[in-house]
Amino acid sequence: MFSVITSLILFINLEYLYADCPAGFFVGVNPEDCFQIIDTPLENDLAQSDCYEKGGYLASIHDVATNLFVGSK
């Protein structure tokens, strides 16, 4: 059985540290985090590749505050 996920890109770049995120992204709970939600379901390896191509990483959320914040978007 395939695992299908929705991509959530975490874009971290020192250029954007404590600044506005790139167009199409939103600032996370931590001001150095920028997120973009992609609604296209992809298998994990394809989602990771898609994120890398866009200059980010597939997000891995490890705290309740960020999970609630991103889930509200």
Q: What is the mean pLDDT of the chain?
A: 76
Q: How far is CA 34 from the centre of its chain?
A: 7
Per-residue pLDDT of the chain (73 residues; tens, 9 = 90+): 444 445 555 544 444 454 578 888 888 888 888 888 888 888 889 888 988 888 888 888 888 988 888 888 8
- At 34-46, the pLDDT tens digits run 888 888 888 889 8
Other C-beta atoms closer than 10 Å to the C-beta of 49 total: 14
Spell out the domain ranges in the chain: 4-64
Does this model's pTM top 0.75? My answer is: no
CA distances, 1 to each of 4, 43, 69 (Å):
9, 11, 30
In the block, residue with structure tokens 């975490």: 10
Give CA torsion, residues 37, 42, 46, 51, to 10 deg. 0
